Amino acid sequence: MDAERWWPPFVEVAALVWIVLFVVDVAVAFDLLVVSESLAATIRSVLRWLLVVFLLDVALLYRWSDQSPGRFVRSNWFLILTVVPWFRPFRLLRIGRSIRALRLLTGSRRVGSFLNKIRRKCHSLWHRLRE
């Protein structure tokens, strides 16, 4: 298998998994979701391992780029920033396929309703935190 061909889709899936697990971890931290302590520890462990995948992603992209380190950093600063997991969702926004998929999902009645519930819950949490 050609790693340069299968690696980017793998990292996109890892990013989606990270986002889901991060949301679950935050929900557990705010007592919005109750899970066993062992499951919570497993989620945190997987989040740490995914960070290693993201660091490896940048290293591999540098290796495949044939650029000097300085030039690679200057031309890929956004990519490097998205190694920090909290900025990872921004990389997905940069990908046209992901945006189109999100548009399709929000057009679905069931998914659109779910996303609206999440938006309302985040809005109420934000107001509670500000008080």
Instruction: Look up the pTM and report it.
Output: 0.58
Low-confidence winner among 49-58, 66-75, 106-115 (lowest mean pLDDT): 106-115
- Residues 6 or more apart in contact with residue 22 via CB below 8 angstroms: 47, 85
Confirm if 47 and 18 have CB atoms less than 8 A apart: yes
pLDDT in tens, 40-54: 999 999 998 998 898
**Euclidean distance between the first and the last CA atom of the chain, given in angstroms as a whole number:** 54
pLDDT in tens, 29-39: 888 889 999 99
Q: Where are the chain's structural domains?
A: 3-94, 95-131
Place of tokens 């679905």: 108
- Residues 6 or more apart in contact with residue 121 via CB below 8 angstroms: 32
- Residues 6 or more apart in contact with residue 4 via CB below 8 angstroms: 64
